[in-house]
A and B are shown apart, each in its own frame.
Chain A
């Protein structure tokens, strides 16, 4: 199948665009309306979800899965998009409390400043589950559990795969980091370094920030290819798939074959990296599973049934995907993102 037909299903129709515009403009309103419409089953749970926003394809997929998962379990979901602002999230949580929801899912935009509003939820006896990110608080009783990935483990999985892939061969690795200063970046770097430290044949020779974007990932990789002796880079590790997609283009434009001349491993599992793997341009990606909300629903249902508190941190698996399953995975994901 060529790219054009693949993309065909994703093209934007005029109605689609108009619907989207309407959807953003009145996201909260429509969300609550929609929730109101399918609340026919009065016995089912009602869950409020305060989402950060829709800044990336991954987050849009997380939202989509939250809606699908709720529907499958007969849960009424009240959704609120905070548009990257903590005060909107605090307002949303307060409105969920006022509406008397059975539980609240919160994907916190920042890590601090939640004690007061979560205290209110606790006083109202509404369990809160954190999604995708942790918060800083001296009082961990304020939330039931946090469902997130282990970002250090993601780096380790990538490093271990590379060590296994090159076997004993000497390998000079370049790293494209995310935005400097993010804890996620420090962790993905740390985990990868841990995993390759055990293999003396793996050398991390250069590291530079690609700011999580395709354009910067491409520019940084161009720099690496120029700065290192021709043919001396054996593998590239990128903290997200988008930067790797940019890097793959840079490798191609330098006349090399990504996936063969230079091995690639990155993190996230967005559809386009599966497409690249299916085309033979990439070798591996570590998935950051977007199905955080369905996991939270299951924890919640189990907790309501047997009242045993779940562990404070539930880690989502960091699964590594290789080209053998890429075409199928791409087909499975392309409509999700």
Chain B
């Protein structure tokens, strides 16, 4: 088992290096960032903030990584967050018991995922188009549920989804890590991961080899929908209200970015849950640093774009030989001088 973990850690070296770099920027921006303290049975500190704020995108990335590995994409996850949050909030406000409201929200995510899966796996729509349908229509559905306003609620158990503490960590962090762990186990200790990668690498030959491709395809979208619903519950509980217009807005793009930073190719094939989660954390660490640096807010997006561009070019296979030859030429010149 430890050898297994060691191999995984070695594979994740680029992502870990990035995360360390992003954390160093945070330390530079805010000294004392790494300080951790235990208060009232809960850990506080910059690292915990990043994990806590990053939890929704971590969850989305956990769902997105298998989807992308099948050469697909799920653009609807941000919207599923809004719908499931709206369902939970409307549920408790209509007098539904909180466990039922949470179950209803998760079931909503499953149904949304099933819809996407049906379009992709059965009707063979291109994933980008199939999930675009829900992405466009879904906010309207969420607005219908909230009647166009922010649905505030006071149900303490629902609020606890974002506010409670478990094992000294905020509950969203525990949920995200548990979901990542469970998904990782599912895909790596069974043949599921292999099936997903096979479908992504070559759907026809994997079908001929006996893989039930439609089932695998459908399942990854259902799982993505479920993860998005969980993320939506956290985001909704965090602000004690369902904001149909803004909950999860553009987060599908963050999730895709996290998976790509995690080294998964958009052409499908190999994927890693752990590295996708690290990708999500890198994004959040950068965002936290930018928010705390005290720079003009106009720079937020520019800085984020520069960082992402640098990270992705560094990962590009075409970039490395180029960089190496440039480096070699530079060294030659130095030697001549």
Chain A residues with CB below 8 A from B235, complex form: 215
Chain B residues with CB below 8 A from A337, complex form: 149
A177 at the interface (CB under 8 A from B): yes
Chain A residues with CB below 8 A from B49, complex form: 222, 226
Measured in the bound complex, the distance between the Cα atoms of B139 and A55 in whole Å is 10
Measured in the bound complex, the distance between the Cα atoms of B145 and A239 in whole Å is 27
Quick one: given A4-B154, A215-B247, A249-B239, are A208 and B297 in contact (CB under 8 Å)? yes
Q: How large is the interface on B (under 10, 10 to 19, 20 to 34, 35 or more residues)?
A: 35 or more
B30 at the interface (CB under 8 A from A): yes
Nearest Cβ on chain B to A190's Cβ, whole angstroms: 15
A188 at the interface (CB under 8 A from B): no
Contact A7 B152 (CB under 8 A): yes
Contact A214 B148 (CB under 8 A): no
Q: How large is the interface on A (under 10, 10 to 19, 20 to 34, 35 or more residues)?
A: 35 or more
Chain B residues with CB below 8 A from A110, complex form: none
With contacts defined as CB atoms under 8 Å apart, how many contacts are there between chain A and chain B in the complex? 96
Partner of A11, one of B93, B148, B150, B163: B93
Partner of B148, one of A3, A54, A272: A54
Chain B residues with CB below 8 A from A242, complex form: 150, 243
B210 at the interface (CB under 8 A from A): no
Contact B246 A213 (CB under 8 A): yes
Question: Could you give, for residues 145-181 of chain B, a 1 whenever the CB lies within 8 Å of some chain A CB and a 0 otherwise?
Answer: 1011110111000000001000000000000000000
B-contacting residues, A1-43, CB 8 Å: 2-4, 7, 10-13, 16-17, 20-21, 24
Measured in the bound complex, the distance between the Cα atoms of B57 and A219 in whole Å is 14
B240 at the interface (CB under 8 A from A): yes
Nearest Cβ on chain B to A238's Cβ, whole angstroms: 13
Contact A60 B148 (CB under 8 A): yes
Chain B residues with CB below 8 A from A227, complex form: 30, 292, 294
A134 at the interface (CB under 8 A from B): no
Nearest Cβ on chain B to A113's Cβ, whole angstroms: 24
Measured in the bound complex, the distance between the Cα atoms of B91 and A17 in whole Å is 12
A223 at the interface (CB under 8 A from B): yes
Chain B residues with CB below 8 A from A214, complex form: 150, 239, 241, 243, 246
Chain A residues with CB below 8 A from B238, complex form: 215, 218
Contact B154 A7 (CB under 8 A): yes
Partner of A57, one of B94, B148, B291: B148
B-contacting residues, A55-85, CB 8 Å: 55-57, 60
CB nearest to B293 among chain A residues: A227
A220 at the interface (CB under 8 A from B): yes
Chain A residues with CB below 8 A from B94, complex form: 11-13
Chain A residues with CB below 8 A from B30, complex form: 226-227
Chain B residues with CB below 8 A from A10, complex form: 93
Measured in the bound complex, the distance between the Cα atoms of B288 and A54 in whole Å is 32
Contact B243 A12 (CB under 8 A): no
Nearest Cβ on chain A to B39's Cβ, whole angstroms: 9
A316 at the interface (CB under 8 A from B): no
B140 at the interface (CB under 8 A from A): yes
B183 at the interface (CB under 8 A from A): no
B245 at the interface (CB under 8 A from A): yes
Measured in the bound complex, the distance between the Cα atoms of B53 and A328 in whole Å is 36
Contact A219 B53 (CB under 8 A): yes
Question: Could you give, for residues 118-133 of chain A, a 1 whenever the CB lies within 8 Å of some chain B CB and a 0 otherwise?
Answer: 0000000000000000
Partner of A180, one of B143, B241, B292, B297: B297
Contact A226 B152 (CB under 8 A): no
Quick one: given A7-B154, A12-B145, A180-B297, are A55 and B245 in contact (CB under 8 Å)? yes
A187 at the interface (CB under 8 A from B): no
Nearest Cβ on chain B to A110's Cβ, whole angstroms: 18
Quick one: given A215-B239, A223-B288, are A24 and B300 in contact (CB under 8 Å)? no
Measured in the bound complex, the distance between the Cα atoms of B239 and A183 in whole Å is 27
Nearest Cβ on chain B to A268's Cβ, whole angstroms: 12
A209 at the interface (CB under 8 A from B): yes
B55 at the interface (CB under 8 A from A): no
Partner of B95, one of A11, A213, A272: A11
Chain B residues with CB below 8 A from A246, complex form: 239
Chain A residues with CB below 8 A from B153, complex form: 7
A-contacting residues, B47-95, CB 8 Å: 49, 53, 90, 93-95
Chain B residues with CB below 8 A from A2, complex form: 154
Contact A215 B243 (CB under 8 A): yes
B334 at the interface (CB under 8 A from A): no
Chain B residues with CB below 8 A from A17, complex form: 144-145
B-contacting residues, A219-263, CB 8 Å: 219-220, 222-223, 226-227, 242, 245-246, 249, 253
Measured in the bound complex, the distance between the Cα atoms of B152 and A17 in whole Å is 17
Question: Could you give, for residues 182-194 of chain A, a 1 whenever the CB lies within 8 Å of some chain B CB and a 0 otherwise?
Answer: 0000000000000
CB nearest to B159 among chain A residues: A249
Question: Could you give, for residues 114-151 of chain B, a 1 whenever the CB lies within 8 Å of some chain A CB and a 0 otherwise?
Answer: 00000000000000000000000000100111011110
Among A10, A54, A219, A223: residue with most chain B CB under 10 A: A223
A207 at the interface (CB under 8 A from B): yes
Contact B298 A24 (CB under 8 A): no
Partner of A209, one of B152, B154, B294, B300: B300
B46 at the interface (CB under 8 A from A): yes
Measured in the bound complex, the distance between the Cα atoms of B239 and A165 in whole Å is 28
14 additional contacts (CB under 8 A) given A4-B154, A226-B292, A246-B239:
A12-B93, A13-B94, A17-B144, A24-B140, A24-B144, A57-B148, A57-B149, A207-B296, A209-B297, A213-B243, A219-B291, A226-B46, A242-B243, A253-B163
A-B contact pairs, 18 of them (CB 8 A): A3-B152, A12-B90, A20-B144, A21-B144, A55-B245, A56-B245, A207-B297, A213-B246, A214-B150, A214-B241, A215-B239, A215-B246, A218-B238, A218-B239, A226-B46, A227-B30, A242-B150, A245-B239
Q: Which 4 residue pairs of A and B lie closest in terms of their CB atoms, listed nearest first? A: A209-B297, A57-B149, A213-B246, A214-B239
